[in-house]
Amino acid sequence: MKNSDALIQENSMEGYLHDCRLKMGESIRVIREKKGYNQEQLADIMKVSRTTISKIENGKFNCSIDYLSKFSWFLGFEFKMIESKGLINNEYIKK
């Protein structure tokens, strides 16, 4: 049985991961719509199912770097979050 501190930390991590998936999915949805694609069209281009696109956009799918790279390639955007936020220069790394 887990102690209460471990449960709080686990729940906080799960919440954080869920929030990240939601933000990423919303960003992908916005870019997809700006490019004029519906989910079915993007799924066909990416050679994945429409339900996969839907799950990613709704934060219900643990998206791999491979999927992110496909979105970047087919939707024509760069994802440079680490570089653009100065993480490479240690500006935002928690100590």
Q: Is the dihedral of CA 46, 33, 62, 23 positive or negative?
A: positive
Instruction: Select from 28, 21, 22 the least CA-distant residue to 70.
Output: 28
Inside any domain, residue 95: no
User: pLDDT tier at 12 (50, 70, 90 boundaries)?
Assistant: confident
Can you tell me whether residue 58 is helix, strand or coil?
Answer: coil
**What span, in angstroms and rounded, lies between the C-alpha atoms of 21 and 52?**
13
CATH of the domain at 44: 1.10.260.40
Range of the domain at 80: 4-89
**What span, in angstroms and rounded, lies between the C-alpha atoms of 58 and 42?**
15
For 14-70, the pLDDT digits (tens) are: 888 889 899 999 999 999 999 999 999 999 999 999 999 999 999 998 888 899 999
- In this prediction the pTM is 0.73
